[in-house]
Chain A
Amino acid sequence: MTSSIVIVILVTSFATYLSRFLGVVSSESIKETSKLFRWFNCLAYSTLAALIARTIIFPAGALMETDYFIRFIIILVSLIIFFLSKKNLVYPTVFSAVILSLLNSFY
Chain B
Amino acid sequence: MDSPAIALGCCFIAIGSLLKNLGFSIQESIFSTLLTYALPGSLVMAESLLVGASLVNIFLAVWLVNARLYPMTVSLMPLLMHESQPRWKYYLSCHFIAVSAWLIMKSNHEKIKKENRIDFWIGIGTATWSVAIIGTIIGFISSDYLNKDMMIGLAIVNPVYFMCMMVGAMKTIQVTLSVILGAILGPLFFFITPEWSILFGGFTAGTIAFFVGELNDK
Interface residues of chain A, those whose CB is within 8 Å of chain B, are: 1-2, 5-24, 26-28, 30-32, 35, 37-63, 65-66, 71, 74-75, 78-79, 82, 87-90, 92-94, 96-98, 100-102, 104-105
B152's partner among A9, A32, A48, A100 (CB-CB below 8 A) is: A100
Task: State whether B168 touches A96 (Cβ < 8 A).
Answer: no
**Interface check B77, CB cutoff 8 A:** yes
Task: State whether A71 touches B70 (Cβ < 8 A).
Answer: no
Task: State whether B1 touches A46 (Cβ < 8 A).
Answer: no
Smallest CB–CB gap between A98 and chain B, Å? 7
A-B contact pairs, 18 of them (CB 8 A): A1-B25, A1-B31, A12-B41, A12-B45, A15-B66, A17-B94, A23-B73, A40-B75, A42-B213, A45-B169, A47-B72, A47-B182, A48-B179, A49-B186, A50-B182, A56-B163, A89-B161, A102-B149
Given contacts A9-B32, A19-B69, could you give 11 more A-B pairs where the C-beta distance is less than 8 Å?
A: A5-B24, A20-B97, A23-B69, A23-B97, A43-B202, A43-B207, A44-B72, A45-B209, A48-B166, A49-B180, A61-B18
Q: What are the interface flags for B30-54 relative to A under an 8 Å C-beta threshold, 1 for contact and 0 otherwise?
A: 0110011110111111010100000
Task: State whether B78 touches A27 (Cβ < 8 A).
Answer: yes
Task: State whether B6 touches A90 (Cβ < 8 A).
Answer: yes
Task: State whether B160 touches A78 (Cβ < 8 A).
Answer: yes
The count of A-to-B residue pairs whose CB atoms sit within 8 angstroms is: 326
Smallest CB–CB gap between A71 and chain B, Å? 7
**Residues of chain B with a CB closer than 8 A to A27's CB:** 73-74, 76-78, 81, 90
Task: State whether B153 touches A101 (Cβ < 8 A).
Answer: yes
Task: State whether B164 touches A16 (Cβ < 8 A).
Answer: no
**Residues of chain B with a CB closer than 8 A to A12's CB:** 32, 35-36, 41-42, 44-45, 58-59, 62
Question: What is the CA–CA distance of A49 and B183 in the complex, to the nearest angstrom?
Answer: 5
Question: What is the CA–CA distance of A62 and B60 in the complex, to the nearest angstrom?
Answer: 23
Closest A residue by C-beta to B153: A101
Task: State whether B69 touches A42 (Cβ < 8 A).
Answer: no
Using a CB-CB cutoff of 8 Å, which residues 148-163 of chain B contact chain A? 148-163
Task: State whether B175 touches A41 (Cβ < 8 A).
Answer: yes
**Residues of chain B with a CB closer than 8 A to A50's CB:** 182-183, 185-187, 189, 197-198, 201-202, 205
* Chain A to chain B: the 7 pairs with minimum beta-carbon distance, closest first: A23-B73, A50-B186, A47-B202, A49-B182, A101-B153, A46-B182, A27-B77
Smallest CB–CB gap between B17 and chain A, Å? 10
